[in-house]
Structures are given as structure tokens and as C-alpha cells.
Amino acid sequence: MNNLILVRHGQSKWNLQNRFTGWVDVELTKNGELEAKKAGNLIKNLNIEIDLFYSSIQLRAKNTLKLIQKVLGNDKSSKNSWQLNERHYGALTGLNKDEMKAKLGEEKVHQFRRSWDLRPDPLDKKNPYHPKNIKIYDDVPRENIPDTESLKDTYERVIKFYKSEIENNIDKKNILISAHGNSIRALCKLLFKLDNNQITKLEIPTGNPLILTFNNKREIYECKYLDKDRAKDLLIF
């Protein structure tokens, strides 16, 4: 049996400030670095060799992966893709979530954060937080850079990458993906066969490895968080 380990990056500076982050490239906090190192130790205790590593191209995910690999003593190169990026929150980018709740109402903000196909208003292309104004996206085709995204949009790009790059190896290799709350939710929607309503209830904690064990028929045999104290409801397991 082989394993797919999904890790949401450790706490970022904008997580701490409770801001909508999306495609903005922010660093880990000191606590986020500790979460990543703890994730590395939890994975190390499994005594399995990770064959393939993947990450988004955003610092918080890449650096989480680097810290995990350092703990594992595994310096294999990773494949980093913009398709594993966090969801783009459009005009909400950079805004404080609590302030937006006070302004728009808690239910409306929850819909923006968790609904399947609702997109926030687009982010102005002149805004410094727009991906077209952030250097790490210089090599991403302009037509693939969004102004805003729904979870459905995020799902479509994440799953396209998963099917082309990862799926054929899940019953042959041990794989680790360092990504984001919504890109991991997209993967879980596919792998857990969640419907559009169920996915709105799935929460992904920072820095807590979620391990999925597959049989040779590519069916999930077992699924669990490695840090039980910080685990969230997996809905169907």
C-alpha cells in the first residue's frame, strides 16, 4: 500500500492577521515554522520513504515543504506548480475577515469563503496584490492568472494538475503535497467523493499532515490526521 500525504502550510503572517491571502505571497510566522517542523516529525515517525514531493509556488507552502524535508533528511527535488496555489479571493484580498463580517454579515463572508461556485468581485489589475503585479507569477501564462476564483474554479485547475502529474503514481509511490486550505479541499472533494454541499463543511488545519493510504485499486484504505489533537472532521471517515 502507498500513501498520499496532504499538508496545508504552517501559519502564515496573514493567517495570524486574519486576512484574506489567496495568491499574495506571504511568509510563515515563527509558529508556522514550528508547525511545519512538527509536521515533519509526525511524518518521520511513520518510517516511510517519500518518493515524490509537490508544492504550490507560494512561499508559505514551499517553505513548509523545505522544513519538512529537512526534518526527514530527504533532499529530493520537488515539483512546484501554480495550479496548487490557494484560491484567489478577488477584491477581498488583503482585507480583514472580521472587519468584513461586520460590514457584510457573517453569513455572506462564510459564503465567500466556503461556497462552491460563488466568486468575490474581481481584484483590480492595478492593485499591487494582483498576481500580475507579483514577480513569482512572471512565468505563469497571463491567460491563466485569475482576477478572482470560486472553489469550483480552484478545483478545476488543481484536479487538472493532479490527474496529469500525480494520479498515476498514487498506487506506486509515497507522495507528499504541501499546499493550501482550498487546494487541499479540492483534492479531498475528488478523493473523498464529496458533493458540492459537503465540501463547504470541510475544514483543513494548518501544519497537520493528512495521510491517505491507497490499495492497489487506487481506493482509500485509511485516512487520518497525524496530529489527533488538531484534527478536523473528515466528514466521511
Distances (CA, A) of 73 to 28, 54, 88, 150, 225: 21, 16, 33, 37, 22
Closest-CA residue to 119 (of 90, 98, 156, 144): 90
In CATH, what is the architecture of 9-170?
A: 3-Layer(aba) Sandwich (3.40)
Which of 27, 33, 35, 86 does the annotation list as catalytic?
86
106: pLDDT confidence band, cut at 50, 70 and 90?
Answer: confident
**pLDDT beyond 90 at 57:** yes
**What pLDDT, on a 0 to 100 scale, did the predictor assign at position 112?**
76
Contact 95, 20 (CB under 8 A): yes
Cα 69 to Cα 190: distance, rounded to the nearest angstrom: 26
Cα 219 to Cα 154: distance, rounded to the nearest angstrom: 24
- The pLDDT tens digits for 170-185 are 988 999 999 999 999 9
103: pLDDT confidence band, cut at 50, 70 and 90?
Answer: confident
The residues spanned by each domain of the chain are 9-170
70 membership: H or E segment, kind and range: helix 59-72
Residues 6 or more apart in contact with residue 114 via CB below 8 angstroms: 151, 200, 201
- The pLDDT tens digits for 150-167 are 999 999 999 999 999 999
E strands, 86-227, are 175-179, 210-214, 220-225
Contact 210, 184 (CB under 8 A): yes
2 membership: H or E segment, kind and range: strand 2-8
**What pLDDT, on a 0 to 100 scale, did the predictor assign at position 196?**
94
Q: What is the CA radius of gyration of the chain?
A: 17
Mean pLDDT along residues 214-227: 91
45: pLDDT confidence band, cut at 50, 70 and 90?
Answer: very high
57: its cell numbers: 509556488
**pLDDT beyond 70 at 232:** yes
- The pLDDT tens digits for 108-141 are 777 777 789 999 999 999 999 999 999 999 999 9
* 9 a catalytic residue: yes
Closest-CA residue to 184 (of 211, 213, 204, 164): 204
**What pLDDT, on a 0 to 100 scale, did the predictor assign at position 104?**
80
**What pLDDT, on a 0 to 100 scale, did the predictor assign at position 75?**
95
Contact 150, 119 (CB under 8 A): yes
**pLDDT beyond 80 at 236:** no
**What pLDDT, on a 0 to 100 scale, did the predictor assign at position 237?**
64
Q: Residue 123 gets which letter from DSSP?
A: P
